[in-house]
Amino acid sequence: MRGIFKFLLNLTPALALGLSVLSSQCFAEELLVVTSGGFAQAYIELSTPFLKNNPDLKIELQRGPSMGETVNAIPKRLERGEKVDVVIMVGSSLDELMAQGKLLKGSKVVLARSLIAAAVQKGAPKPDISTKEALTKTLLAAKSIAYSDSASGEYLANELFPRLGIAKELKDKARQIPAVPVGEIVASGQAEIGFQQYSELLPVKGLDIVGKLSADVQKETLFSAAIVANSTHVESARKLLAYLSSSEVQPIVRKTGLDSIDGR
């Protein structure tokens, strides 16, 4: 290393500066972050100022659902031994991975609260989902319904539809959408109404968001992050998680359709 600096000192200032920048880029520490869709937009907006203040870091972002059998699902990726450094996902699924020893003990941070919403194709009539009774009528009247293959969809299919007493009636017209945002299915006209985390529906073009589910049928989801147990960039990962869970980023978190974890 001393030889490199001695070599740089003997070069012209401009060339030395250029090689120094190139050297720092080549040796920048790189993190692989995998996030589920609910926190994806928040992460994208938060990462820019973080990287600006940490020029010695590079971050590759990939997406994957918090659960399910698709190839990109976070549990499946860790099961295959992929070299991921940080995961951002539904807290309950993260806790399961932590219990299995796949995540670094004590590294979990809670990032945001998320609520389920409904959307229709842009310009279509907005149905009433303001109460449990109104939602039931809307679901029965809909010709086609789409829901996600992650936390919100699992709740709808396994808890809410049966609780409303209409699981049998919806069997042939409600379908789980794997690996593709529900909003895109609705925007393209492949489903009359779709349900997913509000933060996942918000950035999709071609949609009109009907609103969030009412309190009597709503299911709150916590998004959390943790460091993967075999990460070789633990300190940098800790720095990222401290930033993502800090008070200063809460306005951006709320802007992307999520709720702050403590009302900040």
Q: What is the pLDDT of residue 3?
A: 53
- Report whether 203 contacts 44 (CB < 8 A): no
Q: What CA–CA distance (Å, rounded) separates 125 from 241?
A: 41
Contact 137, 150 (CB under 8 A): no
**pLDDT tens digit string along 236-257?**
999 999 999 999 999 999 999 9
Q: 143-183, pLDDT tens digit by residue?
A: 999 999 888 999 999 999 999 999 999 999 999 999 889 99
The one-letter amino acid at 137: K
Measured between alpha carbons, how far is 146 from 156 in angstroms, rounded to an integer? 10
Percent of the chain with pLDDT over 90: 83
- Give, to the nearest 10 degrees, the angle between helix 234-244 and helix 37-53: 110
Fold matches, 30-113+222-255 and 116-212: yes
* Residue 252 backbone dihedrals phi, psi, to 5 degrees: -70, -40
Q: Chain-wide mean pLDDT for the chain? A: 90
pLDDT of residue 146: 98
Share of residues in the chain with pLDDT > 70 (%): 89
DSSP H stretches of helix in 27-108:
37-53, 74-79, 91-99
For residue 119, which of 36, 217, 218, 197 has the smallest C-alpha distance? Answer: 197
- Sequence ranges of the domains in the chain: 30-113+222-255, 116-212
pTM for the model: 0.82
Confidence of residue 24 (pLDDT cuts 50, 70, 90): very low
Strand partners, 119: 194, 209
For residue range 189-239, list pLDDT tens digits in order.
Answer: 999 999 999 999 999 999 999 999 999 999 999 999 999 999 999 999 999
Yes or no: domain 30-113+222-255 corresponds to CATH 3.40.190.10: yes
Amino acid 192 reads E
d(CA 14, CA 19): 9
pLDDT of residue 261: 81
Quick one: pLDDT at residue 76?
96
Helix runs in 54-112, H state only: 74-79, 91-99
**Cα–Cα distance, 96 to 88 (Å, whole number):** 13
Give domain 116-212's CATH number out of 3.40.190.10, 3.20.20.10, 1.10.490.10, 3.10.20.30. 3.40.190.10
